[in-house]
Structure 1
Amino acid sequence: MTLFNAKSTTDDVLAGVDLSGKRILVTGVSAGLGVETARALAARGADVVGAARDLAKARRATDAVRAAADASGGSFDLIALDLASLASVRAAADALHADGRMFDIVIANAGVMATPQGRTADGFETQFGTNHLGHFTFINRIASLINAGGRLVNLASAGHRFADVDLGDPNFDAAPYDPWIAYGRSKTANILFAVEFDRRHRDRGVRAVAVHPGGIATELGRHLSDEDMEALVAQLNATAAATGAPAFEYKSIPQGAATSVWAAAVADAEAVGGRYCEDCRVGAIVEGDGIRDGVRSYALDVARAQALWTKSEELVGERF
């Protein structure tokens, strides 16, 4: 079996893979990783459905996806999905049910990072509401449309190391708001959601996995100043120096999307189900401070995952 690494690209990972006849949903296809993920999958013959909040922007950003689909015999369609609005989330899920076609893979790629303090349309803290609760509601509503043997890939981050979820104060009603703590909570939630979704659906062959794409310069960093990014990279390098790891390097967008498509279409389901992956491999449990390789144990805690699921159902007002 070919071993991939941090420098592998989407085309490296999918070399020789035929996805003809596979139907794949990717959220966040208006920029960056989402566009590249959709392109790489469409280029292998998949029928890709891209979800985006701003459809006009998504159409402009996805010319290469349509070209790849046309060349391979696949297809590409867009649907509207604003993860910061449960009304939009429910409408998108209803539309997919009305269409009735099944999916083999769902990649929950969309997200925001280190935003100023704010609230979603439903009053949730922006990052937890968008990154976790929006996807939690959307994916659970379309779970019956995922074929047996299918797969869910949740985009998480090494940023989960900033913070565990806070089930007692998810919206920072009591604690002072910190954009990185909020981001960390939301990314931990993305991993825990994959853990519990995997537990609930693996008996029918549907597996879920969380992935860290790596550090990539994309629109995700739109809320950060140059000084913010320099401080973050300095922190990454300090951690690397303390642990004997190499200095931080940005990945290209095709390298960043590689772990998503690897986990979705290449990796063994049993090996990655309920796990956290990075650099096209399963990440080890690594404790300690700082943003670094590996996953904190709290993000894979089964009881924590079940508690988050229950709290999330309470917050969105639905049982799944």
Structure 2
Amino acid sequence: MTAEFGATSTTDDVLASIDLSGKRILITGVSAGLGVETARALVAHGAAVAGAARDLNKAETATAPVRAAAKQGNGAFDLIELDLASLASIRKATDRLVADGRKFDVVIANAGVMAAPFGHTADGFETQFGTNHLGHFLFVNRIAGLIAPGGRLVNVASSGHRFADIDLDDPNFERTPYDPWVAYGRSKTSNILFAVEFDRRHKARGVRATALHPGGINTELGRHVGVDTLKAMIERINAELDAAGKPPYSWKTIPQGAATSVWAGVVAEADAVGGRYCENCHVSEVTDGVINPVAEGVRSYALDPDRARALWAKSEELVGERY
């Protein structure tokens, strides 16, 4: 890699010398936050971006800066309707993409929900596991043939994967007491394991997959977390940081948060990120013993190839399709 980036690098820093003319990229979750900024940065450097969103009216308004950047950067942008909490919606969207037939160089699975109250998707799956993992699992696998050789899948996961490993015996909390953060952790661990197994299955044809933590960004993703709860979390984190002699926690900006997605998708070397977990624009190391909630690192269970294969098989069973 020719340049070093870090936690404060922005999308514009990462893409400063990159020409994406001729590249076609798909991003889920372009109606707010990281998805909008990721799309903006990519079209500004010449890419053609297809943005997927559940609420097209909201997305049309939110992506006005993306269209402006596309005009200035000779890129292109269009929207597709996709509700990741509905298998029917996913099948409808993917059928249209497959019929269209145009290839993608990168797919960025960015959409998601966090710490949602207990609920179910349209198909009866626990909301976070069903939306964050199963929705993307079905969506990506149904268009996997559209990812061109040399292309990549980028799964936006989270350091929240540390909250919990997957539970293949009770993925929908039918017997386990529901905890919104445990559910979030399971779904984010699933995002990473999905990338591990997708990478194993597709690298022979030159398609690689990676997962990442964008960092802590105060976006719509936290809408289910109350102000008092968030304040208490930050106070607890800062107390631990102070005890370790470190400065207090600070949020990333949205351009800083989206930087790792564009870095992993179009800048980093494929062999460096394939099957790995990234954050702050670099590949992370396994840190099972570290309990600091904002320290870098990935848990070994999230990269376990046997767990990844088992999750793949369970996911196929749940969505009713095999790949």
Alignment of 1:59 with 2:95, yes or no, is no
How far apart, in 1, do the equivalents of 2:245 and 2:151 lie? Answer: 39
Query: What does the per-residue CA deviation read over 1:36-84, in whole Å, with 9 as the maximum and x for residues that have no partner?
Result: 0000000000000000000000000001100111112111000000000
Q: Greater CA deviation, 247-256 or 237-246? A: 237-246
Aligned partner of 1:94 in structure 2 is: 95
Q: Which amino acid aligns with 1:104?
A: D
Q: CA deviation at 1:244?
A: 5.3
Aligned partner of 1:256 in structure 2 is: 257
Alignment of 1:315 with 2:311, yes or no, is no
- Which structure 1 residue ranges, 4+ long, deviate > 2 Å from structure 2? 234-247, 288-292
Q: Which amino acid aligns with 2:170?
A: D
Q: CA deviation at 1:245?
A: 4.7
Aligned partner of 2:230 in structure 1 is: 229
Aligned partner of 2:293 in structure 1 is: 291
The answer to whether the 8 Å contact 1:162/1:291 transfers is no
Per the alignment, in what secondary structure is the counterpart of residue 224 of structure 2?
coil
Q: CA deviation at 1:313?
A: 0.5
Q: Greater CA deviation, 231-240 or 260-269? A: 231-240
How far apart, in 2, do the equivalents of 1:245 and 1:177 lie? Answer: 34
How far apart, in 2, do the equivalents of 1:26 and 1:287 lie? Answer: 31
How far apart, in 2, do the equivalents of 1:209 and 1:22 lie? Answer: 19
| Change over 3 Å in CA distance of 1:244–1:267 after alignment to 2 | farther
The answer to whether the 8 Å contact 1:235/1:290 transfers is no
How far apart, in 2, do the equivalents of 1:229 and 1:276 lie? Answer: 26
Q: CA deviation at 1:243?
A: 5.3
How far apart, in 2, do the equivalents of 1:88 and 1:239 lie? Answer: 44
Across the aligned residues of Structure 1 and Structure 2, the Cα RMSD in angstroms comes to 1.1
Gaps of 5+ in 1: none
Aligned partner of 1:206 in structure 2 is: 207
Query: What does the per-residue CA deviation read over 1:138-161, in whole Å, with 9 as the maximum and x for residues that have no partner?
Result: 000000000000001000000000
Query: What does the per-residue CA deviation read over 1:67-112, in whole Å, with 9 as the maximum and x for residues that have no partner?
Result: 1111121110000000000000111100101111000000000000
Alignment of 1:40 with 2:41, yes or no, is yes
How far apart, in 2, do the equivalents of 1:244 and 1:103 lie? Answer: 46
Q: CA deviation at 1:237?
A: 2.8
How far apart, in 1, do the equivalents of 2:245 and 2:206 lie? Answer: 40
Aligned partner of 1:191 in structure 2 is: 192
Q: CA deviation at 1:230?
A: 1.2
Q: CA deviation at 1:35?
A: 0.1
How far apart, in 2, do the equivalents of 1:38 and 1:130 lie? Answer: 21
Q: Which amino acid aligns with 1:233?
A: I
Q: Greater CA deviation, 114-123 or 223-232? A: 223-232
How far apart, in 1, do the equivalents of 2:306 and 2:242 lie? Answer: 34
How far apart, in 2, do the equivalents of 1:241 and 1:297 lie? Answer: 27
The answer to whether the 8 Å contact 1:161/1:290 transfers is no
Aligned pairs (5 A) from 1:267-286: 267-286=268-287
How far apart, in 1, do the equivalents of 2:151 and 2:276 lie? Answer: 16
Per the alignment, in what secondary structure is the counterpart of residue 222 of structure 1?
helix
Q: CA deviation at 1:242?
A: 5.5
Q: CA deviation at 1:235?
A: 3.5
How far apart, in 2, do the equivalents of 1:198 and 1:245 lie? Answer: 36
| Change over 3 Å in CA distance of 1:88–1:259 after alignment to 2 | same
| Change over 3 Å in CA distance of 1:237–1:138 after alignment to 2 | same
Per the alignment, in what secondary structure is the counterpart of residue 257 of structure 1?
helix
Aligned partner of 1:300 in structure 2 is: 303
Q: CA deviation at 1:194?
A: 0.3
| Change over 3 Å in CA distance of 1:205–1:42 after alignment to 2 | same
Q: Which amino acid aligns with 2:293?
A: I
The alignment's TM-score, normalised by the length of structure 1, stands at 0.98
Q: CA deviation at 1:236?
A: 2.9
